[in-house]
Structure 1
Amino acid sequence: MKDAGYGSLLALQFLTRLPVPVQCPWNAGTSRWAVRCYPLVGLLLGGILALVGHLLGTWLPPTLQVLVLLSLWVALSGGLHLDGLMDVADALGSNAPLERRWAIMKDPHVGSFGIIALVFLLLWKAALLLVLLEAGMSLAVLAVILALARFGAVALLVLAPAARPEGMAWAWKRHLGLRDLLLALWPLPLCFWLLPGWLLLFVALVPFLLLYGWGMTRAFKGINGDIVGAAIEGGELWLLLIAWIWWSSAMG
């Protein structure tokens, strides 16, 4: 149980900028539990966003509400996954040989493709948040989406090959097995209480992960930390789009 406690705090430290004033040991047990808690961290972050959005909705117009929510969304994660998105976009946009793509991904400078990817991702997130708010959908959907996107990261870490025996993704991955993926499902039944019908979003996540995992394996021969971070951002955007399609169809 000590490993589970430390693991949950490690997940919180790694995936968020929320203060965790505890020094957590890193070992095989705590790192496995940290990955298993990824969806739980997503539920927490999404719950914070939903609560703030509910409070803001009483006195802010929808456009300003979306701007505050999106700003908080980025701040809570410290832009960690956005950094991965920009690195992957720069590497893919270079159309260079594999080794050069790896060098570009490791370069701390951001290129034009990274900026373009960042701008369009945030614009699409803002637009989808706005239409969901205006359509009257419960902001509890954010808790579900953030949890599922981080479950997708766990699936990639467990099932996709590591591109190289180095880096953060490999450090997480080398202790993981299928059992850890199954245990990462444990927070997801809470999604049913938050959003009946959430299984539709879970099912919709599968083709995204299959296509993304195949594309990244083909482009980079495997995954790394940046690729997993970009998957979280892409998964959130994809699930926002599916949520809007689903809600529009249900209300139409």
Structure 2
Amino acid sequence: MKNAGYGLLLALQFLTRLPVPVACPWTPATRRWALRCYPLVGLLLGGVLAGAAALLQGALPAPLLALALLSLWVALSGGLHLDGLMDVADALGSNAPLERRWEIMKDPQVGSFGMLALVFLLAWKGVLLWALVDAGVSLAVLLAVPALARFGAVALLRLAPCARREGLAWAWRQDLGHRDLLLALWPLPLLFWLLPGWLLLFGALLIFLLLYGLAMTRAFTGINGDIVGAAIEGGELWLLLIAWSWWSFVTG
């Protein structure tokens, strides 16, 4: 249980900007537990978002509430995954040979393609949050989306090939097995009681992961940490779009 506790703290330190002033050991056991806790951390982040939405509903008009939720969402993760999104966008937008794309991805400076990707992703997320809030969608959607997207990151790490035997993605991958992927699912059945139709979101996530994994393998021969971070951002956007579509055209 000690390793499980350290794993949860590691996952919080790595995926969020929540203050966790504990020096956690970096061992295979704690890394495995950290990966198993990725969806749980997503559920915690979603809980903060849903709590904020519940407190602010009625006090703010829908556009301002959506902007406040989006700002909180970015602040909780510290923009970590957005950085990966911009790096991947710059590399893909360059149309350069493979080795040059890797150099561009590692460059700390942000290019025009990265900025465009950031602006459009945040714009789409904000507008979809506005539409969901305006439609009175269950706040459980805010629980489901971050949790499912972070499970997607674990699935991508386990099932997609690593492009290079270096970096964080390779380090995490060494200690991740199929059993760990199954154990990462354990917080998600909670959504069954809170959000009818969450299996639709889960199925949509699997489709996204398949297409995204194939595209990244074709473009870069595999994944790395930036690609996994971009998958979390892209997965959240895709799930918000699916949630809005389901609510508008099926239950609306």
> Partner residue of 2:121?
121
Q: Does 1:147 align with 2:185?
A: no
| 8 Å CA contact 1:66, 1:129 repeated in 2 | yes
| 8 Å CA contact 1:36, 1:180 repeated in 2 | yes
| 8 Å CA contact 1:162, 1:222 repeated in 2 | yes
Q: Which deviates further from its counterpart, 216-225 or 188-197?
A: 188-197
> Partner residue of 2:243?
243
Q: Does 1:210 align with 2:210?
A: yes
Local SS of the residue matching 2:9: helix
Q: Does 1:62 align with 2:62?
A: yes
| 8 Å CA contact 1:45, 1:146 repeated in 2 | yes
1:251 deviation in Å?
3.4
Q: Distance in 1 between matches of 2:245 and 2:158?
A: 30
Q: Distance in 1 between matches of 2:194 and 2:251?
A: 19
Q: Distance in 2 between matches of 1:9 and 1:251?
A: 38
- Equivalent AA in structure 2 for residue 157 of structure 1: L
Unaligned runs of 5+ in 1: none
Local SS of the residue matching 1:17: coil
TM-score under structure 1 normalisation? 0.99
Q: Distance in 2 between matches of 1:193 and 1:8?
A: 24
Q: Does 1:172 align with 2:159?
A: no
Aligned length: 252
Q: Distance in 1 between matches of 2:82 and 2:50?
A: 21
Q: What is the 5 A alignment of 1:54-133?
A: 54-133=54-133
| 8 Å CA contact 1:144, 1:194 repeated in 2 | no
> Partner residue of 2:32?
32
Q: Does 1:137 align with 2:134?
A: no
Q: Does 1:231 align with 2:245?
A: no
User: Deviation above 4 Å: which 4+ runs of structure 1?
Assistant: none
RMSD between superposed Cα atoms in Å: 0.7
TM-score under structure 2 normalisation? 0.99
Local SS of the residue matching 1:67: helix
- Percent of residue pairs bearing the same amino acid type: 78
Q: Distance in 1 between matches of 2:189 and 2:169?
A: 27
Deviation per CA, 1:13-38: give whole Å up to 9, x if none. 00000011211000100000000100
- Equivalent AA in structure 2 for residue 178 of structure 1: H
> Partner residue of 2:52?
52
Q: Distance in 1 between matches of 2:141 and 2:215?
A: 28
- Equivalent AA in structure 2 for residue 220 of structure 1: F
